[in-house]
Structure 1
Amino acid sequence: MREVAFIKKNKQKWQDFETAIFGKQLKNPDELASLYTQLVNDLSYAQTYYPKSKTILYLNNLAAKAFQKIYKTKRQDTNRFVYFFKTEVPLIMYHYRRYVAYAFIIFGAFAAIGALSAAYDDSFVRLILGDYYVNLTLENIKKGDPVAIYKSGSNWGSFIGITLNNLYVGILNVVYGVFGGLGTGYILMENGIMIGAFQYFFEKEGVLMQSVRGIWIHGAMEIFAIVIEGAAGFIIGASILFPKTYSRLTSFKHGVKTGVKILISTFPFTICAGFLEGFVTRYSNVMPNWLSLGIIFTTLSIITYYYIIYPHRVHKKQQLNYATI
């Protein structure tokens, strides 16, 4: 069925449902449940046959608002804080999952560019990382501790300083989305090239595995969070460039609200990464391989599950809840 025919066929039914939900007089529960089930079925049909249509946005918003209206007397899970992290953010991540993909692709591409540039230009690493960092790290490699630079300062001082810096970078990453996403793209480019050149530098010096065992203890969550924040920045940029059926101002407000929610959701991971860098990374050279690699795998698995896998589960659960009303 052509989309125009689909809309024409069901438009009146959708309008009746809006009236039933948001009007002064509700229909009886059985009739309301029947209308809701039909709405969810129409949403599923539209997602299957018109995946890029604005009809999906309309039906999805209507279904979400109706669900909240029907269950207005039902308490949310424990409290607003838990609901935010357990349900609201995962649903946002599912809806904007393509922006997460864009952010990872862009970051990965620039990381590859950074590594290739370092491989073909001996001066590139110094240009990106600075002479001080390179010279000090070369000295540490000779001493048998390639990541000794991460062990300077006190535990608490390092934790607080690193965490505040990473939070600042994350906020900039999102805020720069107001420049049509170009500012966010620049930050992802900067960090991607740095990571690529950084890891090639250790590979060239023959200590890649030692650097991975140390740096990625905190880097798994830190870098992943930067990429997620990049996706939030792109959402804001897209809200300005592609307002769809909304006014540009309304679209921008919605984009900012969504981007800020994603940004806030990364704070616990950024703080955790700062804690690991301040208190754990400094002991990587005395840890057995299984422990350091275990920490890396665990932290990467947790943040990957929350932002990539869990949103699909929450979305699926929500769809089932819709269907059973």
Structure 2
Amino acid sequence: MTVFRSDGRRRAATIIDVARHANVSVGTVSRYLNGIIIRQTKREAIDKAIAALHYNRNAAAKAMRTERTNMVALLVPDYDEFFAEVLASLTRNLADEGQVLLTHKHEGDPKTLAMAMEFFQNHRVNAVVTPGVSEVRTQVEALVEHGIPVVFFNNDVPYLKVDRVFARNRDISRRAVRHLIDLGHRRIGHISGGMRETTAQDRQAGYSDALRDADIPLNPNYIAGASWKRQDAYSAIERLMQLDEPPTAIFTATYVLALAVIDYFREHDIALGKDVSLLSFDDVEIFRQMSPGVTAIAQPTTAIGQAISEIVLGHINGIQRIAPRTVTIDCSIILRQSTRPPRGNG
């Protein structure tokens, strides 16, 4: 049986193809090729798949013992809409080249993330893809030292020799807040994410840039949050709306924070868009279904996944340049009814 890429070109069968043909997991095939005893029915299914696909089992077994596997690791804090869409894009692109994507959700726990990185290093994955986390700098350096490429996305840790793929967070945040200013808003609040992360820093910097460009004084009282948690964002919007001169518009650093704002508005009879405008980073399905819909910054998750895949495959195929590469990708603003001119003078 011949195996083809999605573009119709022939390619050699991989361990993923064997696992699919035999209807077993990749791990089961790996154990069998390394001489570990598995059930007879699975052994027979794998042998038939190897024969049908003309799979080079000797070369594969040697590769798993001494070289790399055909596996790429993706480590994320959770499977929210952003990470799920990047995961889907990566899976499609890497599968075309015979690579399987192994995912691990660490829930923001640095110890769990460090253990996962050490695990994938010991299992000689072809690359590790992850948002940057400063607490695991040592583990990232160890991966690079062992020749395993690392690609950061969504958040950076400076001065590490890794590739990077990021949305242009600062620029699009500046443009988004400029939209609120163009509508006539002057009292614009910002609910930020965790300020230890470059993502939150860049989005807040874009907010400040827009105010400075419009000669609007930066009022520290209008910045709140400093966490990615919904309950903290609720406390933040509560504080902002209790100011003597509360904001007439809110810019949130991610959709989870925006949902807390919407919760607060509903509970306090504040009309979204009419009384206070809301603009969120990240466009998610619920924003499209709500009435009024929420104006949001859409991240190009498909393009992000494609860019990461190209870098990873470049390393695997030996064509990626030695110097780390940084790719930045434009976002877009999706205008909906949650952003309107302020009542009165703003």
TM-score by length of 1: 0.28
Q: Higher relative contact order at CA 8 Å, sep ≥6: structure 1 or structure 2?
A: 1
Which structure features the higher share of strand residues?
2
Q: TM-score, normalised by structure 2?
A: 0.27
Structure (1 or 2) with the greater helix fraction: 1
